[in-house]
């Protein structure tokens, strides 16, 4: 890990263990240009790559063709409306309504450590573990400045980028767009890897060709969304788990975003990532500043696997703050699929008793415990316990559950308001809406205008006072609709464009307060399943509900896409009943447990209705979780085979950091007749260690398992699975 500046050549070089990123200051005007990003290189002066000594040359030599220069120069952070016609990284409107901006070098600093970002989730590190480069750039006409920031971490191949903008002028200025990064590079026949989805089908891996023009993924839904994910990767032609070039970009933000790749007339690519400019307009008075969320870039020339493990390690070590990040999580049982809204204290106690017998450690009471909420049409905002359901109140129930020997957790949807609620009757203007236009309902609810301080105060107290009232150790923070009708009754007309971003900042502020007041609380974020599964939320909660789809086979696709970036320790995964409530599929109980093991593990079913053999299986699964959860939480993840790529099997391994132990999860999706056993090749073990494999007579070297492979007998039947445990032979 190192960052250097070559004063003679005016070149910055950022080196991680295996990658280099090079930036140069060019010509008399001091354009900040992008030189190189890829495998580690020794030379710093690669400025020939910018082609500034060929036509159209730099403006000091050929100002006549300045626009040709700006429109092809690999820019580190592109300006707007002054000659570069490709995507701008920033756009502003000044007081006179003009919009030109060109940010040129002003200054820089290189220092140990990683600065926090005001009001935003961000990676963090001790000073000894990270280094940062800040390049100050300025528009010399507008008198505004920006800081382009790059941080690297000891032992990691990630580079984290962010941008801050400062209005140093004496005039107001409107930010119309501000990307968190811009990266120009030559196209090398890259494809785009994206995580596309929908409710119950989140984060499916998809590949797209990159054509001329612009292609993007984005969300304008007020959250990172089920539909598209704030992540893209550019991957080379020979991409696999172990081979090929990969450039990954992940946005540490939970609201509107865009990630765009533009291929231009000269076959170069411009990648930008940042807050989506739609419905975005931020007014900055003199000396005011704007801080952009950060982007985590990972380059790997050893395929997707290295990228994945780099993200996992970075997020476990430098993003997820919760003390639970490396602690065992209580195995929970959640009553949602067991009862939906139809429960009372006695039903929950029955579930708790049976759960305790099976070794489960926490009961989570889901939606329906407050106001008059007997279906999803009312009461969001009225966070008062419904004593018709919970007789004697919440504390009494929690104490009873604790007496049984289980911890207690609770569900909230704090950001919402039902039109049929006391809160709405009292404060209709607290809902986000455009005055004079009937706001769009979704799940029969509106979104609270969290940009207002009094609303935030109400929401915080509603949640915190419930948590203070009983021994509650877990919160599931849900968000079940996306934003529409963006308008606030309390924001000035020239600041309405700030609402979407201020809303996200408000969610962060609330979760920051909550985790500060309740430092031991286990917080799980959720949004109609996995619509806000993003690095921003991981900063506040160590785990996120991955999807409302709990079917083991559907989960293979969802969890593979999620685990492409996010550590298994963050993926909320539960065993539920069959036929599955989302797809009606029947899968073996064992497979449901094996698939949920690749996550935080729990149950989402009415345990009182399970048969005796099924309860025995729960007991066994609980033991399995205790046996392997440390490995799953802290180990290295290796993908072996994918159902998502049309395969008949799904298979992955988690190996301990010291490579002394591993588990392989093998799922046969559909069986086929008259076939040989299946051969898997296992990358990720120590070549020179011998491994004993449960169910096999002999021990084999890691190199044998990698190159020659292991034969797995086909189970009889569809959806069958097994866990294969490997331990180093001493």
- Can you give the binding site for ligand GLA, defined by CB under 6 A? 336, 366-367, 376, 411, 478, 480, 526, 528-529, 545, 548
Picking from 619, 562, 624, 550, the residue whose alpha carbon sits closest to that of residue 594 is 624
Helical (H) or strand (E) element with 514: helix 499-517
Going from the C-alpha of 653 to that of each of 263, 640, 710, the distances in angstroms are 37, 7, 13
Picking from 417, 421, 462, the residue whose alpha carbon sits closest to that of residue 443 is 417
Residue 548 marked ligand-binding? yes
| Beta carbon of residue 49, minimum distance to ligand GLA (angstroms, whole number) | 48
Picking from 456, 571, 553, the residue whose alpha carbon sits closest to that of residue 506 is 456
Going from the C-alpha of 233 to that of each of 169, 193, 303, 500, the distances in angstroms are 38, 5, 11, 26
Task: Report the residue number, 315 or 411, with the smaller CB distance to ligand GLA.
Answer: 411
CB 300 within 8 A of CB 310: yes
Q: How many helices (H) and strands (E) does the chain have?
A: 14, 39
Residue 297 marked ligand-binding? no
Task: Report the residue number, 184 or 478, with the smaller CB distance to ligand GLA.
Answer: 478
| Beta carbon of residue 592, minimum distance to ligand GLA (angstroms, whole number) | 16
Characterize the bridge pairing of strands 90-93 and 231-235: unpaired
| Beta carbon of residue 512, minimum distance to ligand GLA (angstroms, whole number) | 23
Picking from 523, 498, 501, 503, the residue whose alpha carbon sits closest to that of residue 513 is 523
Task: Report the residue number, 262 or 478, with the smaller CB distance to ligand GLA.
Answer: 478
Residue 485 marked ligand-binding? no
Q: Which residues, other chains included, contact 633 with Cβ-Cβ below 8 Å and sequence gap of 6+?
A: 326, 328, 567, 568, 569
Question: What's 539's DSSP letter?
Answer: T
**What SS3 state is found at 509?**
helix
Q: Which residues, other chains included, contact 373 with Cβ-Cβ below 8 Å and sequence gap of 6+?
A: 341, 367, 379, 380, 386
Helix axes 589-596, 612-634, angle to 10 degrees: 20
Task: Report the residue number, 380 or 712, with the smaller CB distance to ligand GLA.
Answer: 380
Task: Report the residue number, 548 or 590, with the smaller CB distance to ligand GLA.
Answer: 548
CB atoms within 10 A of CB 212: 11
Q: How far does Cα 720 stand from its chain's mean position?
A: 30
Catalytic site positions: 478, 548
| Beta carbon of residue 389, minimum distance to ligand GLA (angstroms, whole number) | 15
The burial class, CB within 10 Å (0-12 / 13-18 / 19+), for 468 is: exposed
Using CA atoms, how far apart are residues 237 and 255, in angstroms rounded to an integer?
Answer: 32
Going from the C-alpha of 641 to that of each of 202, 240, 247, 649, 669, the distances in angstroms are 20, 11, 22, 7, 12
Backbone φ and ψ of 709, nearest 5°: 95, -175
Residue 478 marked ligand-binding? yes
Characterize the bridge pairing of strands 407-412 and 649-655: unpaired
| Beta carbon of residue 600, minimum distance to ligand GLA (angstroms, whole number) | 13
Task: Report the residue number, 478 or 534, with the smaller CB distance to ligand GLA.
Answer: 478
Q: Can you read off the two tokens belonging to residue 100?
A: 């030109």
Using CA atoms, how far apart are residues 644 and 332, in angstroms rounded to an integer?
Answer: 29
Picking from 73, 84, 38, 102, the residue whose alpha carbon sits closest to that of residue 268 is 73
Residue 658 marked ligand-binding? no
Residue 480 marked ligand-binding? yes
| Beta carbon of residue 370, minimum distance to ligand GLA (angstroms, whole number) | 12
The residue sitting closest to ligand GLA, measured at its beta carbon, is 367
| Beta carbon of residue 603, minimum distance to ligand GLA (angstroms, whole number) | 13
Residue 167 marked ligand-binding? no
Task: Report the residue number, 89 or 364, with the smaller CB distance to ligand GLA.
Answer: 364
Task: Report the residue number, 71 or 548, with the smaller CB distance to ligand GLA.
Answer: 548
Task: Report the residue number, 574 or 659, with the smaller CB distance to ligand GLA.
Answer: 574
Residue 71 marked ligand-binding? no
Residue 500 marked ligand-binding? no
| Beta carbon of residue 411, minimum distance to ligand GLA (angstroms, whole number) | 6
| Beta carbon of residue 368, minimum distance to ligand GLA (angstroms, whole number) | 8
In the annotated binding site for substrate, the residues are: 199, 366-367, 443, 476-480, 526, 548
In the annotated binding site, the residues are: 199, 366-367, 443, 476-480, 526, 548
């Amino acid at each position: 890990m190192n960052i250097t500046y070559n004063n003679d050549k005016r070149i910055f070089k950022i080196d991680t263990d295996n990658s280099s990123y090079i930036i140069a200051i060019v010509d008399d005007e001091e354009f900040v240009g992008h030189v190189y990003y890829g495998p580690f290189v020794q030379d710093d002066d690669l400025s020939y790559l910018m082609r500034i000594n060929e036509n159209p040359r730099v403006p000091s030599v050929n100002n006549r063709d300045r626009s040709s220069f700006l429109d092809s120069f690999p820019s580190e952070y592109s300006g707007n409306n002054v000659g570069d016609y490709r995507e701008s990284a920033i756009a502003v409107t000044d007081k006179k309504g003009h919009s030109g901006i060109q940010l040129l070098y002003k200054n820089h600093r290189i220092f140990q450590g990683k600065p926090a970002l005001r009001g935003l989730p961000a990676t963090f590190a001790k000073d000894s573990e990270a280094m940062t480069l800040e390049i100050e750039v300025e528009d010399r006409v507008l008198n505004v400045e920006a800081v382009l920031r790059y941080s690297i971490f000891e032992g990691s191949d990630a580079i984290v980028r962010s941008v801050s903008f400062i209005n140093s002028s004496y005039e107001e200025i409107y930010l119309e767009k501000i990307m968190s990064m811009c990266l120009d590079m030559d196209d090398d026949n890259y494809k785009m890897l994206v995580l596309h989805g929908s409710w119950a089908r989140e984060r499916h891996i998809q590949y797209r060709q990159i054509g001329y023009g612009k292609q993007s993924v984005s969300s304008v839904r007020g959250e990172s969304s089920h539909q598209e994910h704030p992540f893209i990767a550019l991957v080379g032609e020979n991409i696999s788990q172990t081979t090929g070039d990969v450039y990954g970009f992940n946005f540490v933000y939970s609201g509107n975003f865009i990630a765009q790749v533009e291929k231009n007339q000269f076959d170069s690519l411009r990648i930008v990532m940042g807050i989506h400019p739609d419905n975005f307009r931020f007014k900055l008075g003199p000396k005011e500043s704007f801080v952009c969320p950060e982007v985590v870039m990972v380059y790997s020339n050893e395929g997707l696997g290295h990228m994945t493990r780099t993200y996992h390690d970075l997020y476990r070590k430098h993003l997820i703050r919760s003390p639970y990040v490396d602690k065992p999580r209580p195995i929970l049982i959640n009553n949602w699929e067991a009862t939906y809204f139809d429960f009372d204290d006695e039903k929950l106690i029955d579930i708790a008793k049976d759960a305790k017998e099976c070794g489960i450690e926490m009961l989570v009471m889901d939606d329906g415990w407050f106001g008059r909420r007997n279906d999803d049409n009312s009461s969001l905002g009225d966070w008062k316990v419904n004593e018709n359901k919970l007789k004697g109140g919440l504390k009494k129930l929690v104490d009873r559950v604790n007496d049984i020997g289980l911890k207690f957790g609770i569900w909230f949807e704090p950001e919402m308001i039902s039109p049929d609620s006391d809160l709405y009757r009292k404060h209709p203007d607290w809902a986000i809406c455009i005055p004079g236009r009937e706001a769009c309902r979704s799940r029969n609810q509106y979104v609270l205008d969290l940009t207002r301080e009094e609303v935030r105060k109400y929401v915080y107290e509603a949640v915190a006072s419930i948590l203070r009232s009983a021994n509650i150790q877990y919160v599931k923070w849900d968000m079940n609709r996306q934003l529409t009708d963006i308008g606030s009754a309390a924001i000035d007309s020239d600041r309405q464009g700030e609402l979407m971003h201020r809303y996200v900042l408000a969610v962060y502020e609330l979760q920051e307060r909550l985790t500060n007041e309740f430092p031991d609380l286990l917080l799980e974020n959720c949004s109609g399943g996995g619509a806000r599964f993003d690095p921003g939320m991981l900063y506040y909660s160590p785990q996120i509900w991955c999807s409302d789809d709990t079917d083991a086979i559907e989960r293979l696709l969802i969890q593979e896409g999620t685990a492409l970036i996010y550590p298994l320790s963050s993926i909320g995964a539960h065993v539920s009943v069959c036929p599955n409530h989302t797809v009606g599929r029947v899968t073996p109980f064992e497979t449901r447990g094996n698939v949920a093991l690749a996550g935080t593990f729990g149950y989402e079913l009415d345990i009182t209705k399970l048969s005796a053999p099924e309860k025995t299986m729960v007991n066994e699964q609980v033991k399995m979780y205790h046996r392997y959860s440390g490995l799953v939480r802290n180990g290295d993840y290796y993908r072996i085979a994918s159902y998502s790529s049309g395969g008949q099997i799904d298979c992955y391994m988690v190996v301990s950091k010291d490579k002394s132990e591993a588990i392989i999860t093998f799922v046969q999706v559909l069986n086929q007749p008259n076939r040989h056993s299946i051969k898997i090749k296992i990358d990720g073990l120590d070549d020179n260690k011998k491994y004993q494999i449960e169910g096999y007579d002999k021990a084999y070297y890691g190199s044998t398992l990698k190159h020659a492979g292991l034969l797995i007998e086909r189970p009889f039947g569809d959806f069958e699975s097994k866990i294969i445990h490997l331990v180093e032979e001493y």
